[in-house]
Structure 1
């Protein structure tokens, strides 16, 4: 899985809260190409709801089930917003 950083202004239609949730790793945004919806550039996985988005963040459709035929290989995060930083000094205390 590749990670691509873009500026948050590129997806004007997404709220600041949505962008924060994406950068925190709670929701996930991916670049995609989906034959059933040619205008879809992004796929947003938010809790148990899924959305196909245009190149500026407009919702094309929402999906209640995960689209198993959807392909993506690049996760999107926002370069100009705070990001989730993984814990590098994690150590199991019970081992």
Structure 2
């Protein structure tokens, strides 16, 4: 799995709250190679998965479907929580 960083303006139709949930690890924004749809991205929220277009609009909803997360996305310009393990490594 690859971790990718993008700017929030690349997906302007995703709400700021959703972007914060993605950056905090509560929800997952990803691309999947094994799904034939017009969706550019997928958003996993609990057990539901939403297919998104290239600007972040919801195209479809999938329930309990397994998709491989090939690329996992985070937003560079949205705050992310500091990992406790990363916080202590800098102090050693």
TM-score where L is the length of structure 2: 0.83
Contiguous gaps of at least 5 residues in structure 1:
90-95
Contiguous gaps of at least 5 residues in structure 2:
none
Q: Based on CA coordinates, which of the two structures has the bigger radius of gyration? A: 1
Hey, what's the Cα distance between the residues in 2 that align with 1:85 and 1:32?
27
Count of matched residue positions in the alignment of Structure 1 and Structure 2: 86
| 1:44 aligned residue | 43
TM-score where L is the length of structure 1: 0.80
1:2 Cα offset (Å): 1.4
Moved over 3 A (4+): none
Name the one with the larger helix percent.
2
